[in-house]
Amino acid sequence: ALAKRILDGKSSLVITADRVFRGEKCIHLKKVVDQAIEMCTSAGNAVKVLLYERHGQDIPFNPVQDTWYSDFADFEFSESDSQVEWVQAEHPLFVLYTSGSTGSPKGILHSTGGYMVYAAFTFQRIFNYQPSDVYFCTADLGWITGHTYGVFGPMLNNATCVLFEGIPLYPTPARWWEIIDRYSVTIFYTAPTAVRALMKEGEKWLQSSSRDSLRTLGSVGEPINVPAWKWYNDVVGKGRCEIMDTWWQTETGGILITPIPRCTELAAGSVTLPFFGIQPAVLDIDGKECRGEGEGPLALKFPWPGQARSILGDHERYVDTYFKPYPGYYFSGDGCRRDSQGYYWITGRVDDVLNVSGHRLGAGEVENAINQTPGVMESAVISIPHEIKGEAIFAFTILKKDHEIEPKELAQRVNAKVRQIIGPIAAPEGIQITPELPKTRSGKIMRRILRQIAIGREHDLGDVSTLADPSVVQQLAQLCRENAALVAVAKAVQ
């Protein structure tokens, strides 16, 4: 994957640390880079490496290819050596690849002027940043949230920031809360996946911190289900913080739908209202705009400064993906519901639609119902072939920590809850308990991978370069091979 990124961008320099740790797991970055450069060299793209010694010990070093960052940093530069590189507003600033949840990753190209203006303005207004604040965004800097609200937005506002390395559960699940107390963090921005993971560990890990400095809590990357929203609000924020549940994408460059501090009445699970100047549209099955309440694909009617300008090396794909599906609109790929107050509720990807006996159901809708089952921490649903219905719903569930239940009893509880909330048509045909789900670094569930594993095609997963933890695939494949219902499905589709 790295080699493809280098070749796509025709890059001549890679900057890397020697290695990094995620919890106790060591990731040898330099070895990965060396493998990628070997592939690039074979393809005729010569690459140099600027190497930062982060952890030391047995670092592979090629003097022809590599330069130590410490040697470079020791040079003395005069002011005349460090002049600003002035560029046009539309000059390319960076390329980030979207997740592989919908196929081959796309290199999203952002401009310099529009992106930076939007990053700075949205950061200040949406988080109500003041000079006395301390801001803590937990996002990986290689993700769009890390770019916009970990680096550009805060830095352009001269913000005091906390930068974080590692995972939230290591060395203990109290780590983030202790950091918040240590640095008197006032604004905290993280993903629902992390909230649910910490919620699963229990409230005891919050007892060593007061978190009294917190004023604003943010959520990003995926819809936050109601139980997680309430835990975030009631337990982490003690019921006195504002929850900024934000909707945006790699392609949008910045937040588009969000509450505004001290202005917007909050609603658990809703991203509420459009940001200044943003005009969303909810489209019906014929691509016509719904007026008032409605549900359907979420589109945007007018451009905004942070909008991506192209897909690297494939502008036609950019037009085909975002503008051709609904002429005159930017198509986000997400579905939503707009209620009588004008509040927006993100229902998940439009391509995450389940069709059971002719009834169309949103995956997010079914998952939200399953997640309200006692003992269930998180779930993901997919469609599997069914002899009678055409498609049937199959659910993967993560249980809360220390919660044990027989699969048969769990299935009964889940089906009862789904029938109660949605109706019998949405009841899963089968359930598989799993320790983890395949997700991108931004926390999006890769249902495409779940479908392939469920039907016994774990060796034909397509692009998995953006999986946060590739080892999850093998764990799930083994569990599915032991599930009699899925074994029968796999045989039927072979």
Query: 471-481 burial, b if ≥16 CB within 10 A, otherwise e?
Result: ebbeebbebbe
Q: Tell me what the mean pLDDT of segment 247-270 comes to.
A: 96
- What percent of the chain stands above pLDDT 70? 93
CB 269 within 8 Å of CB 229 = yes
Which pLDDT does position 282 carry in this prediction? 98
pLDDT for 396-413, tens place per residue? 999 988 788 888 899 999
Q: How far apart are CA 272 and CA 339, in angstroms?
A: 10
Cα–Cα nearest to 122, from 261, 224, 24: 261
Would you state the pLDDT for residue 100? 39
The amino acid occupying position 296 is G
| Cβ contacts of 58 within 8 Å, gap of 6 or more | none
With tokens 């670092």, the residue in question is 59
The share of the chain scoring above pLDDT 90, in percent, equals 65
Q: At what angle do helices 447-454 and 484-493 cross, to 10 degrees?
A: 90
12 pLDDT above the threshold of 90: yes
Q: What is the CATH number of domain 93-348?
A: 3.40.50.12780
CA distance 467 to 450: 12
Instruction: Read off the pLDDT of residues 174-194 as tens digits, 9 standing for 90 and up.
Output: 999 999 999 999 999 999 889
Per-residue pLDDT for 307 more than 90?
Answer: yes
Neighbours of 410 (CB within 10 A): 20
Q: How far apart are CA 378 and CA 228, in angstroms?
A: 10
The confidence score (pLDDT) of residue 92 equals: 97
**Domain map (residue ranges) of the chain:** 2-82, 93-348, 352-493
- pLDDT per residue over 146-158, tens digit each? 999 999 999 999 9
Name the strands in the sheet holding 376-386, side by side, starting at the edge strand that comes first in the sequence.
Answer: 376-386, 390-399, 430-433
Q: DSSP strand E in 147-265: where? A: 160-162, 187-190, 216-219, 242-245
The mean pLDDT value for 379-390 works out to: 81
pLDDT for position 105 = 74
* pLDDT value at 206 more than 70: yes
CATH of region 352-493: 3.30.300.30
Mean pLDDT of 28-50: 95
Q: Is residue 120 left, alpha or beta, with left meaning phi > 0 and alpha meaning psi from -120 to 50?
A: alpha
Beta strand spans in 242-371 (E): 242-245, 280-282, 294-300, 310-311, 330-338, 344-349, 353-356, 359-362
296 token code pair: 């359907």
Overall pTM surpassing 0.95 (yes/no): no
Place 485 in a pLDDT band, splitting at 50, 70 and 90. Answer: low
Mean local confidence (pLDDT), 62-76: 86
Pairwise CA distance, residues 140 & 468, whole Å:
11
* Whole-angstrom distance, CA of residue 171 vs CA of residue 194: 15
Least confident of 76-80, 88-92, 213-217, 381-385: 76-80
| Single-letter code of the amino acid located at 283 | L
For tokens 């003041």, the residue is 130
What pLDDT does 358 receive? 53
